[in-house]
Amino acid sequence: MEKKVAMVLALMLLVSGLVSAEEAAPTIGQRIDSATTDATNFFNKHARPAVDTVKSVYNWFGDIAKQWGL
């Protein structure tokens, strides 16, 4: 009985190791998706405020030009 339990536990450990090793290796598509998501998140966090600032400054100059009749 104890040998059967030990054999089942050892088999479960072996199978879980194989499954986790298979899950740990992402595919090329998953790597590309992850890189794209990281780049998008970086842009939204760091570059988006700069783009919004440039747009607001551009709009401000446009409003001033309209007021001066240019």
For residue 40, the enclosing domain spans 2-67
Determine the Cα angle at 41 with ends 37 and 46, to 5°: 150
Count of domains observed in the chain: 1
CA distance 1 to 6: 9
Helix ranges (H only) for 1-70 are 2-24, 28-42, 48-67
pLDDT tens digits for range 3-59 = 777 777 787 877 777 665 556 677 888 889 999 999 999 988 888 888 888 899 999
What's residue 46's pLDDT? 86
What's residue 22's pLDDT? 55
What's residue 19's pLDDT? 61
What's residue 58's pLDDT? 93
pTM of structure: 0.42
What's residue 14's pLDDT? 79
